[in-house]
Amino acid sequence: MKNRRILFLSNGHGEDTCNGEIIKALLSLDATVEMAAIPIVGEGNIYQGLGVPILTPTQTMPSGGFLYMNPWVFFKDIASGLMGLLGKQLQIIGQRARDYDILMVTGDIVVAAIAYFTKKPYIIFLSAYSSYYEGKLNLGLILPFLLKSPRCLAVFTRDQFTAEDLQKQGIKKAQFVGTPMMDNLTPKGVNLNLDSESLMIALLPGSRLQEARNNLILLLKLVEMIDKISSRKIQFRVAAVASLMTELDEIALSLNWQHHNGRLTDQKGLEVICYSDSFADILNRANLVIGMAGTANEQAVGLGKPVITIPGNGPAFTYRFAEAQLRLLGLSIQLIGTKPADDTILNQAAQKVNQTLQNSEYLKLCLNNGEQRMGKPGGSLQIAQFIRNRVSSRNPVSGNL
């Protein structure tokens, strides 16, 4: 019997991360499964790191995939070759999808539509939608058609509330088994050089280089303000992408700080240490998180951490995005400011950090809220088991859903 073949589609960094966790779970169940990937947005670094071949050209666009947050950057994407890239991707998908038994797609209506038009069976993790945003999902006209198709084998949601909402709207195959993004948060045991007597705050500047660079500058200014007003000793650790580490010299110079081997130090000796391979360790050890990120903020909330956010200049982490994230994640998020952070907003954020660390009742609420909004770990394995069962059957489209 020939090896079963699965094609993964995704349209964003967080979506790549979720698919990556499902891929790892699949390989733990059956190492003979053949897989390939098509990241519609970005370079697909997650897939490359797992050794999964990418079938189409890739390119990082100015919007970073956040067109719905700022439609004006759509024109920048077009100028950077968006239409030509997408045309090539769709052409290759049309040619190569026939070689695969099932498509596993993570994202929104875009990847759902692409999967539908391949005429292959598909499973979708609707990572971009949650009923927490508005209380009820507005599915429009096209998405219900794509989700109710007999070739759509399952609709996995990012929370239980959304699964129940979709079922009420007639999407009976909707189910919540956990969020894959909660499955890559096991600490590696990295030495973070922490003082056990001090609190630790994690700084999350985001994953897209230029924006992360600008965000980290804002966060370092905020750190200085926190240090001035805090009555307790606090240490700061940055969970940075590898490319951001190469920018630390310039970042330090712009703030009149010093940089040496990942350690940023201001004129008064305040130290902030950056790591590029210790995200899970930093997040698990943090007493509080200051985040300007998408998926990373969600993961922090899932671990029960209080998260304080400040708007940046985008294109991803703007006020509009942060406000939507607040509705998605509930009380665990405290959003400070309604415009790109200035000194006034940073000072307000510093005060909020100080207040939050002293509010034991609120910290307990964050623990409960995190599990409600993000679920428990294990979703990747359950989705992988579903894929394996269907891809091993003679007719993946048949069977009870």
What does the pLDDT look like over 185-241, one tens digit per residue?
A: 999 999 999 999 999 999 999 988 899 999 999 999 999 999 999 989 999 999 999
For every residue of 183-235, which 3-state class applies, written as one string? HCCCCCCCCCCCCCCCEEEEEECCCCHHHHHHHHHHHHHHHHHHHHHCCCCEE
Residues 379 and 263: their CA atoms lie apart, in Å, by 36
Mean pLDDT of the chain: 91
pLDDT in tens, 272-285: 999 998 999 999 99
Confidence of residue 44 (pLDDT cuts 50, 70, 90): confident
Percent of the chain with pLDDT over 70: 90
H runs (alpha helix) in 237-302: 242-245, 248-255, 279-285, 295-302
pLDDT at 301: 98
* 278 CA to centre of own chain: 16
Residues 31 and 26: their CA atoms lie apart, in Å, by 8
State both tokens at 297: 């903020």
pLDDT at 175 over 50: yes
Q: How far is CA 305 from CA 59, 65, 363, in A?
A: 34, 27, 8
Whether domain 5-183+377-393 has CATH 3.40.50.300: the reply is no
Residues 292 and 58: their CA atoms lie apart, in Å, by 25
Cβ-based neighbour number of residue 170 at 10 Å: 11
Residues of the chain with CATH 3.40.50.2000: 5-183+377-393, 199-374
pLDDT at 304 over 90: yes
pLDDT in tens, 314-336: 888 999 999 999 999 999 999 99
pLDDT at 78: 43
pLDDT in tens, 100-149: 999 999 999 999 999 999 999 999 999 999 999 999 999 999 999 999 99
Confidence of residue 79 (pLDDT cuts 50, 70, 90): very low
pLDDT at 3 over 80: no
Q: Please, what's the b/e burial string for 311-321 (b: 16 or more CB within 10 A of its CB; e: otherwise)? A: bbebbbbbbeb
Q: Is 273 helix (H, G, I), strand (E, B) or coil?
A: strand
Q: What is the mean pLDDT of residues 167-192?
A: 96
Angle between helices 295-302 and 319-329 (to 10 degrees): 30
pLDDT at 80 over 70: no
Name the residue type at position 123.
I
pLDDT in tens, 15-28: 999 999 999 999 99
Confidence of residue 90 (pLDDT cuts 50, 70, 90): confident
More confident residue, 279 or 40: 279
Q: How far is CA 81 from CA 85, 116, 218, 314, in A?
A: 6, 25, 31, 21
Quick one: fold of 199-374?
Answer: Rossmann fold (3.40.50)
pLDDT at 209: 87
pLDDT at 401: 35
